A and B are shown apart, each in its own frame.
Chain A
């Protein structure tokens, strides 16, 4: 059983939902990002999404784009991202890590080599934003061979008849992009979520995470009332950005501020009994 499957099975036994926070690699530098990553499990992260910086994240909002550009400035390369995961894995063999990014840095690294190296570093799953099922063959075989889960995105615009296409080849969990829009903007209403989830449940047995627009502990708690996990990205990145000095460098507040916010989000999620 993969770390992701194991983690969701444990959560289900405990009747709890999961909080999945996001950290951008090398944002604003390698050491700070690694310190945040290392602090996340103790602050209540059940799984962790690690962003692989890309120069042109066109499906993401301005917050993630800025984080990506800070990460690139902070020295991020694919090799460095995998080193950061390996460093995290040295102390934590339980918390699943999902890499989130775009196709081109993976293609440049070489998809086969990337999957092998990512697995070796301790990565459990991949979310590649611009690889819909129609283009999945770029990573499908090498990811399966390496034992990496491919986490598929599903959107409000995805019609029912397309759901089987989206879920074919999906593993780990399913990421529901709860709004039509970019990350960190609007928030889906409780009604919208209540309508969307049964539609997805009918089409998959995989756990479902909700992302995009979850900014507060209340919104995170609402999400896990209907879904299995809540993903929080832009809100944490905004907090991080707010602690940087005028030159964009980390300060003594950076790591604690992000982890304190994470703890509040995690507490709200874990108070929901399922």
Chain B
């Protein structure tokens, strides 16, 4: 989508996926035949939209005047001083309308759905951020909207459920399985396969069958494109490292992608280690999973030896998914990005650190990225530059945090 993408040459790490939707061995289109023609149609429609300057112009208009882009790149002086090492910059995606990076992608896809003549939107959501973003644009464009959400998540994300309903969306609690994001994804796919004639499946992360991982990444790449310009303006050079949290991986892919061909910029994806990487209660798909096939793509998955998908665990509902976007799996295997973990407790600590030193209440998802940045910054020289993606704001998480801090609201 972005100018930088079209410049990606044959040797670029930004030229993927290939014609089959593969990033190395990852990605692909592992779906039932009923959906296959729809994916081919979507791929063609997306390719046509990319080539149409009018589509770009329309998207830019909404990104600027409705989403509120560009988002600032904030020099976190007090946190930098507190940690005593590298300079920390924060990419302020939490300042977008609806409070997270999710709207970047949702805006792109809803404009595409409109071009394709679809009138109804289905989406899956974990923490509810993608659901809220989707319900928001459906209200904006007057489209019908059904959001599938695991029953467990409906319970722990009540404010977002109410927001979605206020926005006119039908929120469907999913009781199958453990009632979390993976089950919501299954149900959303079932709705799509049942209502293919008028329905558009608006995927919220860089996972699922091709072309979703590519499309969502392209729409989210605006984060990295802006970051590059902003850090050049502020520091006159590229950062030494970029840190972002990974659930499905859309905010990370968005900020990483424009930097893939800049080998001096270290890219660090922080997975939710949950109770610890080796606790058996984790959502760290890359670090503790194996490649496999789920929800339309081949990628790292948390699974048992017989290929059954296991439940993920994280304090953050938005990271509580047993898979990860296929491009991340590939970046891991080729060694271009490093994937690490932050535990529930580390995220809680970082949540408070960020709130008290910067006056920014981050989403628990983003707190995982902050936690790892806080871990490495003290050992880096003071002239090094670290960018942390603050993918969302934490207002939705205050109840969870209060509970963990033993505070009764």
Q: Which residues of A contact B (CB under 8 A)?
A: 54-59, 61-62, 65, 69, 72, 77-78, 102-109, 129-135, 152-159, 162, 166, 177, 180-182, 185-186
Beta-carbon contact of A103 and B293 below 8 Å: yes
Q: Which residues of B contact A109 (CB under 8 A)?
A: 306-307
Beta-carbon contact of B20 and A134 below 8 Å: yes
**Cβ of B386 to closest chain A Cβ, rounded Å:** 37
B291 nearest in chain A by CB position: A107
Partner of A59, one of B29, B34, B195, B196: B34
1/0 contact trace for B170-213 toward A, CB 8 Å? 00000011000010011001100111110000000000000000
**Cβ of A183 to closest chain B Cβ, rounded Å:** 10
Please give the number of chain B residues whose Cβ is less than 8 angstroms from any Cβ of chain A in the complex.
Answer: 38
Does B370 sit at the interface, judged by CB under 8 A?
no
Beta-carbon contact of A78 and B307 below 8 Å: yes
Partner of B36, one of A55, A57, A132, A186: A132
Beta-carbon contact of A180 and B197 below 8 Å: yes
B residues 271-326 near A (Cβ < 8 Å) are 290, 292-296, 301, 303, 305-310
Beta-carbon contact of B292 and A104 below 8 Å: yes
Beta-carbon contact of A157 and B34 below 8 Å: yes
A154 to B305, CA, bound (A): 31
A154 to B36, CA, bound (A): 10
Tell whether A61 pairs with B190 under 8 Å between CB atoms, given A77-B306, A104-B307, A162-B37. yes
Q: Which residues of B contact A (CB under 8 A)?
A: 20, 28-38, 176-177, 182, 185-186, 189-190, 193-197, 290, 292-296, 301, 303, 305-310
Q: Which residues of B contact A61 (CB under 8 A)?
A: 190
Tell whether A108 pairs with B306 under 8 Å between CB atoms, given A59-B34, A59-B189, A134-B36. yes
Beta-carbon contact of B305 and A132 below 8 Å: no
**Besides A55-B310, A58-B189, A157-B37, 12 new A-B residue pairs in contact (Cβ under 8 A), listed by A number:** A56-B309, A103-B30, A105-B307, A107-B292, A130-B293, A132-B30, A134-B29, A135-B28, A155-B33, A157-B35, A162-B36, A181-B193
A81 nearest in chain B by CB position: B306
Q: Which residues of B contact A72 (CB under 8 A)?
A: 308
For the complex of A and B, 4 pairs with smallest distance between CB atoms: A108-B307, A105-B307, A181-B194, A59-B32
Q: Which residues of A contact B295 (CB under 8 A)?
A: 56, 58
B190 nearest in chain A by CB position: A182
Q: Which residues of A contact B29 (CB under 8 A)?
A: 132, 134-135
A130 nearest in chain B by CB position: B30
A59 to B30, CA, bound (A): 11
A153 nearest in chain B by CB position: B33
A69 to B182, CA, bound (A): 15
